[in-house]
Amino acid sequence: MSAIFDNASSIKQSNRLSVTSATTISGKRVSQRRGPFLYTFEVEMNMMATSSEAYKEVRKEISGMDFGVDTLSTSIPSLTTNGGTWAGTPVVQGSNNSGRFVDISGLTASVTAIIQDGDYVQFGNNAKVYQVVGDFDSDSSGEVTIKLNSPLVATPVSGSTPVLGTSVVFNLAINEAEFPMGFTPRTTVDNLVEIGNMGFTEVII
């Protein structure tokens, strides 16, 4: 968990998807995705004392991003709890998964809605975070094919264990490399600071 997200007073999650659309003379509309579905976050910060550990950790994190040059990698547990249990020992099945569908095996057999709409999942060979679209039951062999909210950016490795729920890690680039801070003087060693709102967009690395 990052110090920025941990000390936020509010986090607004949105989605970014580039879509091309065209309408024919007959009125038929044709739309196509341009790139993957990406998450965006607007973070509003709490006011904090300059002497506090929280403020020191936030400053350290900002400088660690080289003031916007580098990305921030973080889990966001408050937003990524799964509804499905994914009970058993889920692994990616096969090496031919593509598009928006992934075969999962190793689940507890014959469980209704073992994986649920909106569940977060991430695969080990790429940093993209996905969400499941729809509820899915495991079959009598503990297998299921799930649908994702975005096409795979890389084929998951067969037999690999997916990362789930609050354990997924986002790679985020700050939208504007500006970090406004308003200081309210109190003493020579301890002032109040109000850090401006920050916007982040998921990036594929």
Q: Residue 177's pLDDT is what?
A: 74
Q: Residue 19's pLDDT is what?
A: 67
Q: What is the 3-state secondary structure (H, E, C) of the chain?
A: CCHHHHCEEEEEEEEECCEEEEECCCCCEEEEECCCCEEEEEEEECCEECCCHHHHHHHHHHHHCCCCCCCEEECCHHHCCCCCCCCEEEEECCCCCECCEEEEEEECCCCCCCECCCCEEECCCCCCEEEECCCECCCCCCCEEEEECCCCCCCCCCCCCCEEHHHCCEEEEECCCCCCEEEECCCCCCCEEEECCEEEEECCC
Q: Which CATH architecture has domain 79-168?
A: Beta Barrel (2.40)
Digit-by-digit pLDDT tens for the chain (205 residues) are 899 999 999 999 998 876 667 787 888 887 776 778 899 999 998 889 999 999 999 999 988 888 888 999 999 999 999 999 999 999 999 988 989 999 999 999 999 999 999 999 999 888 899 999 999 999 999 999 999 999 999 999 999 999 999 999 999 999 987 777 888 888 888 899 988 889 999 998 8
pTM above 0.85, yes or no: yes
Domain residue ranges in the chain: 3-75+169-202, 79-168
Q: How far apart are CA 82 and CA 68, in angstroms?
A: 30
**End-to-end Cα separation, the chain, in angstroms:** 19
Q: Residue 25's pLDDT is what?
A: 81
Q: Residue 129's pLDDT is what?
A: 97
